[in-house]
Structure 1
Amino acid sequence: MANSPLIAFVLSVIPGIGHFYLGLWKRGIVAFICGSTFVISVVGAVFYPIIAILVAFDAYKKAKEMQG
């Protein structure tokens, strides 16, 4: 069964989880660390939604590429 771009997108509300779902472990770890770092910082409170959206679209795009 192919990975769903929509599921990858939704899981990426927590950066990196959508990539883990796709089996893209290195990319998922980087996204998760970047997302976590931003959440911890004061500035991150402002930028976290932007990071989360960018990561979600990347997971969606990668799932589409994996489908062929």
Structure 2
Amino acid sequence: MGQVTIYLDDETETRMKEAAKANGVAVSRWVAELVREKTATEWPEAVRQLAGAWPDFPDAETLRHNQGQDVAREPF
């Protein structure tokens, strides 16, 4: 497990400690969870649950209906 040293101004450090305490976790765990959240490579579950939430939202075919035909590419 790696260790990281960060330098924070006094106000930021106080806010970090208060946030960790409010979440009932150690500061190191709070920071680790924040880093994990900010570097996630997948959509959060709450966002994935929104799929299909708007029944009147048009599908891809409807959205692209008036875009016309693609132009043929030039050969290399």
Select the structure of larger CA radius of gyration. 2
Is this a same-fold pair by TM over 0.5? no
Relative contact order higher in (CA < 8 Å, ≥ 6 apart): 1
TM-score (norm 1): 0.31
TM-score after normalising by structure 2: 0.29
